[in-house]
Structure formats: C-alpha cells, structure tokens
C-alpha cells in the first residue's frame, strides 16, 4: 500500500519557511523536515520530491505535531526547548547512520563539535568523512542539530546539504550564543562547558 504523505509548512521563521513531511500508520511518523534554501521554498522542494503529498491545515494536525511546531517556533525565537526523537522515522537508516544522528541529537545547545569528534564518539575515529556525509543528508535539521557540527578548523562549512546553507547555519549558531567571525567559530557559548563528555552549563 502506497504511503500517503502530508505536509505542513511553518511559513515565517528567521531561516525562512520550514516544511514538515509526515504520515500516519497507526501513529504519527515524521518523514522529513525540509528547510528552504537560497533559491527554493521548502514546500516547493517537498512537492518536487514526493509524488503524492497533501497539504494539511493546522487545525487538522494532531497534538504531537502541533507541539513539535510550537517547539520549533520557540527555539527559533531563542527559547530553551527540549526536542525528542519520538515520531522520527529512523527505520530506513543503517546502524552507523543512526549512531551518527543520535550522537548529534545529544549535542547540547551552545556547544559545537567536529566531524572527527563525532566519529570518535561512536568509536569510528577514521570515519569522519562518512559522518559528514550522513549529517549533510540529515532529514531532521533543528531536532537533530547538525548545525552544531563544524570543520576541524572551526569554519562553519555548509548546511542542509548546500554550500550556501552557511547563512542559515550562522543564524542558528548565533542564536545559541556561538560567536562567529568571517564564517569561523570564535568561541562556544560562555554559559556552556567546553567539556565534550559532560557538556553541562556552568551556571
């Protein structure tokens, strides 16, 4: 039976429209979160990518999806929120890909790491290029905060699979208190420990 995908677009955010693609097979599953890029609105990307997709009104959404939308909006307004992996459809990913995505999910707000550090965290220290590839195709930006991973020289690099995604990446990092100058991280948030093991707030 063909999966019937639906979409809802958060239209006004600091990084442009954001489209959530989802479906329901007894319970809510989010297939993808699509960010707009420099040339294309996120909803246009969704309709080009999925053969059959239906627009949903906010009133038709279930409670859990409404809560996620509210949390995304709060986060992009600078508020502290806790995202969850519940309702994300990770079933199509390999164990390695899942390890990368879950490790990235646990990266705390106000901190950054490198592709090499994530590779080391999952006990695959030589796989930093593969880590970068997984994160460049991260289907759940913001929830799985791949914007918090930068190059080893601390230049921020691309985002959302595009070299010109660095503008959105810089906006998100700056929102979290990361200092950036000329596309390079100068320091992490001053209220967050630099200890990669604990990553706890200093105050």
Q: 96 and 130 in contact (C-beta within 8 Å)?
A: yes
**146 labelled catalytic:** yes
Distance of alpha carbon 79 from alpha carbon 68, whole angstroms: 14
Residue 60 in tokens: 């038709």
For Cα atoms 32, 156, 42, give the angle at the middle one, nearest 5 degrees. 30
C-alpha distances out from residue 12 to 2, 41, 47, 77, Å: 32, 11, 19, 11
Q: Is the dihedral of CA 110, 114, 118, 120 positive or negative?
A: negative
Q: How far apart are the first and last CA of the chain?
A: 52
Q: Which of left, alpha, beta for 84 (phi over 0: left; psi -120 to 50: alpha)?
A: beta
**Which among 34, 45, 72, 146 is annotated as catalytic?**
146
C-alpha distances out from residue 72 to 53, 80, 172, Å: 22, 10, 12
What are the residue numbers of the active site? 146
């Amino acid at each position: 039976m063909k999966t019937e995908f639906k979409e809802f677009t958060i239209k006004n955010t600091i990084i442009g429209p954001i489209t959530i693609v989802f479906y329901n097979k007894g319970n809510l599953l989010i297939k993808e979160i699509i960010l707009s890029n420099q040339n294309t609105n996120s909803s246009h990307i969704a309709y080009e990518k999925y053969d059959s997709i239906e627009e949903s009104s906010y009133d038709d959404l279930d409670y859990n999806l409404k809560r996620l939308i509210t949390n995304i909006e709060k986060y992009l307004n600078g508020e502290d929120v806790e995202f969850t992996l519940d309702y994300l459809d990770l079933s199509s990913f390999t164990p390695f890909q899942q390890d990368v995505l879950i490790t990235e999910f646990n990266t705390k707000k106000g901190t950054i790491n490198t592709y090499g550090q994530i590779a080391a965290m999952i006990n695959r220290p030589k796989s930093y290029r593969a880590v970068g590839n997984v994160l460049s195709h991260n289907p759940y930006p913001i929830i799985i905060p791949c914007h918090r991973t930068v190059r080893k020289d601390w230049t921020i690099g691309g985002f959302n699979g595009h070299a010109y995604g660095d503008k959105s990446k810089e906006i998100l990092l700056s929102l979290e208190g990361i200092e950036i100058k000329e596309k390079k991280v100068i320091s992490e948030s001053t209220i967050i420990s630099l200890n990669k093991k604990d990553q706890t707030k200093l105050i």
